[in-house]
């Protein structure tokens, strides 16, 4: 009986020690992460925000009219293709069949 109590106390001590080690390791990791975050300069984030992304509207005077017309035509073609694909998907969702599953859009999107 006394051996069972001693064994239980040893197991509780081991379990408590492992839990304490895990918690302290987690806390030290979070403190190190907070220190690194504090050491990072804030201007890097602002520099990343200055990089133009895909959907940013360029200044109208920055691009020649030929390029703007081409870009607008290309975007219109991509948009119409996506709308055609969405219509096919909606039709399949409403009325699923093997035919509607493998049917292609009326116009293929080609770059050349």
**What's 63's DSSP letter?**
S
- For the chain, the average pLDDT equals 80
pLDDT exceeds 70 at position 57: no
**What's 109's DSSP letter?**
-
Residues 6-46 pLDDT 10s: 999 999 999 999 999 999 999 999 999 888 888 876 555 55
Mean pLDDT, residues 88-98:
86
- Domain regions of the chain by residue span: 1-51, 55-112
103 phi and psi angles, rounded to 5 deg: -75, 140
The pLDDT value recorded for residue 87 is 87
Cβ contact 13:5 at 8 Å: no
Position 69 confidence tier, pLDDT thresholds 50, 70, 90? confident
Cβ contact 95:103 at 8 Å: no
The pLDDT value recorded for residue 110 is 66
pLDDT exceeds 90 at position 52: no
Alpha-carbon distance 23 to 43, whole Å? 34
pLDDT exceeds 80 at position 89: yes
């Amino acid at each position: 009986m006394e051996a069972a109590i001693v064994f239980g106390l040893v197991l509780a001590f081991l379990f408590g020690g492992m839990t304490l080690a895990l918690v302290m390791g987690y806390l030290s990791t979070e403190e190190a992460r907070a220190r690194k975050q504090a050491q990072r300069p804030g201007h890097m984030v602002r520099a990343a925000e200055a990089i133009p992304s895909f959907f940013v509207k360029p200044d109208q005077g920055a691009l020649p009219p030929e390029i703007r017309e081409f870009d607008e035509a290309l975007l219109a073609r991509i948009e119409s293709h996506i709308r055609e694909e969405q219509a096919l998907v909606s039709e399949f969702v409403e009325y699923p069949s093997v035919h509607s599953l493998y049917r292609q859009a009326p116009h293929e999107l080609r770059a050349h």
